[in-house]
Amino acid sequence: MNGILLSLSQLALSIVLSALAAYLAFYLFQAFTRRLNGWQGLQQGNLAIGIVLGAAIVSAAIVLRPALSLSVAGWDAGSALPWRAFLTQALQLAVGLVLAVAALGLSLLIFGALTRDLDEIEELRKSNLAVAVLLAGVLVGVGVMVSQAMAQLMTALAALIL
């Protein structure tokens, strides 16, 4: 019974934090594109903005995925195991969420600094799909690369707690 309760609580936590991650990915986009109104662009059907926003959400999910896996097979925590596992995973997801947003934001800042001749925000405003796909690739690529480091960090964090 404890296993089912733990699984259901992990599922509920994952759903809530996934929605929060999607919102924070949108917030990250807004912070990166201060001269561009993302909501307005989406409402006007700007596909370029939609592509970059979608990539930001997918990338955040890729980075956060390692925080969702928590193996309790080797733990000897007695009856407190489900609560310790739940709290450990909650902490992993919270830390992972902050690090995911920071990693993606930093990568966009670095990419923007390296491509000074390209005004990404203005190109997105003009619905330039080529620039949108480029930025989407940067976001997803960074997400894939950072996810391995995130997995190692989550394993170390779980070991500290337990």
Cβ-Cβ contacts under 8 Å for 77 (sequence gap 6 or more): 84, 85, 162
Average pLDDT for the chain: 81
Q: Contact 91/161 with Cβ under 8 angstroms?
A: yes
Residue 9 has which token pair?
């609580």
- The conformation of residue 73, written as its DSSP 8-state character, comes to T
Specify the number of domains making up the chain. 1
Express each pLDDT in 116-160 by its tens digit: 899 988 899 899 999 999 999 999 999 999 888 888 888 887 777
Expressed as residue numbers, the domain containing 138 is 2-161
In percent, the amount of the chain with pLDDT more than 90 equals: 25
Amino acid letter, residue 154: M
Express each pLDDT in 78-100 by its tens digit: 555 667 777 777 787 788 888 88
Give the CA distances from residue 33 to residues 8, 28, 38, 125, in Å, rounded to whole numbers and listed in that order.
Answer: 38, 9, 8, 10
Residue 80 has which token pair?
């407190």
